[in-house]
Amino acid sequence: MLLEIDNLSVRYRTRRGVLNAVDDLSLSVARGETLGLVGESGCGKSSLGRAIVGLVDLVGGTVRLDGKDINGLTHRQSLTWRRRMQMVFQDPLSALDPRKTVRRTLTIPLDVHRISTSAERHERVDALLHRVGLAPALAGRLPHELSGGQRQRVNIARALSLDPDVLICDEPVSALDVSLQAQVLNLLADLQRERAITGLFISHDLAAVSYVADRIAVMYLGQIVEILSRDELWHHAAHPYTQLLIDSIPGQGARLPTPSSVELPNPYEPPRGCRFEQRCPRAMPVCRETPPALSELGGGHVVACHLYDDIALRPSSAGKTWPIHEVTETTASRSI
């Protein structure tokens, strides 16, 4: 695995108390793979992305890149290792310096890391612009002179300028018009294929995640509740929360009973048992008292839900189909 996250926790102190935004979370991403991370707003997925690239402090756990624990490095060591991981942020305008032209924005990372001569940098910036579908004539413009889609392409070009091994995209299309979302998603999918970049694609939009990701991790209230492949998603999603996310895609039609509540529980005082229990249409008495652990269903499909307590431990569960959810991928793709 290229990127390994073990028992990672992120905590914020606020006026209301201590918020465990990411709670003892583990996952890994193989070289060249794109892992989608999906969940509702406030579930901690952006905090996880920021913790991986060192923008927020961890209160526990490790982040390993190529086997190297990148916490606790010196500033100099950290520069080298963190160069290998780049991030594309949600708001393309605020991620850019309003006083810097596109060319300057794309040249700064090359200057900082002393990559190429100045003539080579000019060519390299032109090549980057070309690759993300921007005309070199835009290089002299300031961010406010670009459209939203063009700004996000500049952000993607900046992230690619250092040839990263890992690209973390945090809601990269949610601030864009619907017409631009598909263009940027197609660009990211093309880039990941052609450069074999390892990706972490964070979004609240399950359809968008499934468009670019090989595997999908579903997050709820700071924890992973299911990890499954894109192929399994539409037909074999096992966790009731994943199924509700699928049902919420427009045109999908609800296939589960209506959830008991649509409100997220108080994140400052998460439920003692399963954190989804208050909203789960399949909740059982055990769910209120005992948190479910992640269990393997087979083929790398893991789920944290008491519905599978008996099934999960059996070796014969590999390849089993879960009869709970059946939808067509075509229907889901239409909503992108």
Q: Which residues make up the interface to ligand SF4 (CB under 6 A)?
A: 239-240, 274, 276-277, 280, 282-284, 287, 292, 305-307
**Closest to ligand SF4 by CB, 92 or 240:** 240
**Closest to ligand SF4 by CB, 33 or 226:** 226
Q: Which residues contact 9 (CB under 8 A, 6 or more apart)?
A: 20, 22, 23, 24, 25, 58, 59, 60, 61
Q: Measured from the CB of residue 257, what is the shortest distance to ligand SF4 in angstroms?
A: 12
Q: Measured from the CB of residue 259, what is the shortest distance to ligand SF4 in angstroms?
A: 10
Instruction: Give per-residue burial for 117-144: e unless 16+ CB within 10 Å, then b.
Output: eeeebeebbbebbebbbbeeebbeeebe
**Cα(153)–Cα(136) distance, rounded to whole angstroms?**
13
Closest CA to 36 of 225, 213, 188: 213
Q: Measured from the CB of residue 80, what is the shortest distance to ligand SF4 in angstroms?
A: 42
| Edge-first strand listing for the sheet containing 85-88 | 85-88, 166-170, 198-203, 34-38, 215-220, 223-229, 301-303, 295-298
Q: Measured from the CB of residue 302, what is the shortest distance to ligand SF4 in angstroms?
A: 13
**Closest to ligand SF4 by CB, 58 or 216:** 216
Q: Measured from the CB of residue 308, what is the shortest distance to ligand SF4 in angstroms?
A: 8
Q: Which residues contact 88 (CB under 8 A, 6 or more apart)?
A: 95, 152, 155, 156, 159, 167, 168, 169, 170, 172
- Contact status, residue 197 vs residue 167, Cβ threshold 8 Å: yes
**Cα(308)–Cα(305) distance, rounded to whole angstroms?**
6
Q: Measured from the CB of residue 29, what is the shortest distance to ligand SF4 in angstroms?
A: 25
**Cα(110)–Cα(335) distance, rounded to whole angstroms?**
38
Amino acid at 32: G
**Closest to ligand SF4 by CB, 147 or 290:** 290
**Cα(325)–Cα(92) distance, rounded to whole angstroms?**
36
Q: Measured from the CB of residue 6, what is the shortest distance to ligand SF4 in angstroms?
A: 23
Question: What's the distance, Cα to Cα, between the start and end of the chain in Å?
Answer: 30
**Cα(88)–Cα(175) distance, rounded to whole angstroms?**
12
Q: Measured from the CB of residue 210, what is the shortest distance to ligand SF4 in angstroms?
A: 21
Amino acid at 313: L
- Contact status, residue 183 vs residue 175, Cβ threshold 8 Å: no
**Closest to ligand SF4 by CB, 55 or 293:** 293
Q: Measured from the CB of residue 220, what is the shortest distance to ligand SF4 in angstroms?
A: 9
Query: Tokens in use for 302?
Result: 């893991």
